[in-house]
Amino acid sequence: MFDSTSIIIAGSTGLIGHHLLNFSLKNESVDRVYSLSRRPLDETSSKLVQMVSDDLSIDKQQIEASAPEIGFIALGTTIKKAGSKAALKAIDTDLVISVAQSMREVGVKHIYVVSCIGASSSAFSHYLKCKGEMEDSVSLLGFSSVIFMQPGPLSGDRSETRKDEVLLQGIMSAINPIMKGFLLNYKPIEGEIVAQCMLDLALSTHQVSGVHRYTSKAMFERKT
């Protein structure tokens, strides 16, 4: 683990991103946190540098001499919220790729991106296809390492309630006792667990190279 490092987070107002932000601000190994968001954050800290814009652009003038080597992207939406398949793709694929490219340009070497289980550019599902196309593109941007977090259904407090996830969580809670082995990938996982795993990986093993994927099973097992 490094004595100190700077990181940059895109999507710090969302479920996973907000936990990631708070964990980072409290972690003694992190001396600077750059945040990309569409609205100002409530958090205040001498470590925190906020960059607020609709397109999550990076203000290079706010990047200090020690540019962040670690980047986190926790962006995503639903067709219901986005309004159309095209609008979903604009966020889950195009925006994520754009932000990742911007991070690479300011010196980020190791990037951690929230995706989902089953992501594939050849998937029948539009959502999974968008995530898969995003993964394919980000993998080619020239980072020293790319880690995709691929959780199954997410649980935890959100700023908005998603009825489909609430229903799924209710069903899954009834069968949780039998969710073992590979089935752990489809067990509801708290955003807090995903965020903590991302930060732990970044601060302890981010020197690994290449493209890697962490599913819910790996996150649950790492937690225990």
CA distance 137 to 174: 38
Say if residues 156 and 196 touch (Cβ distance below 8 Å): no
5-223 classified as CATH 3.40.50.720: yes
Mean pLDDT by 10 residues, the chain (224 residues): 81 95 96 95 93 93 86 91 92 97 96 95 94 98 96 69 51 52 75 95 79 92 74
Amino acid at 197: C
Task: Give the per-residue pLDDT at 188.
Answer: 83
CB contact at 8 A, 103 and 58: yes
In the prediction, which pLDDT does 1 show?
47
CA–CA separation, 73 vs 75, rounded Å? 6
* CA gap 52, 172 in Å, rounded: 37
Domain residue spans of the chain: 5-223
User: What pLDDT, on a 0 to 100 scale, did the predictor assign at position 138?
Assistant: 98
Whole-model pTM over 0.85: yes
Q: Are 132 and 120 in contact (CB under 8 A)?
A: yes
What's the CA gap between 52 and 144, in Å, rounded? 27
Note the Cα 124 to chain centre separation in Å: 23
According to the model, what pLDDT value does residue 158 have? 47
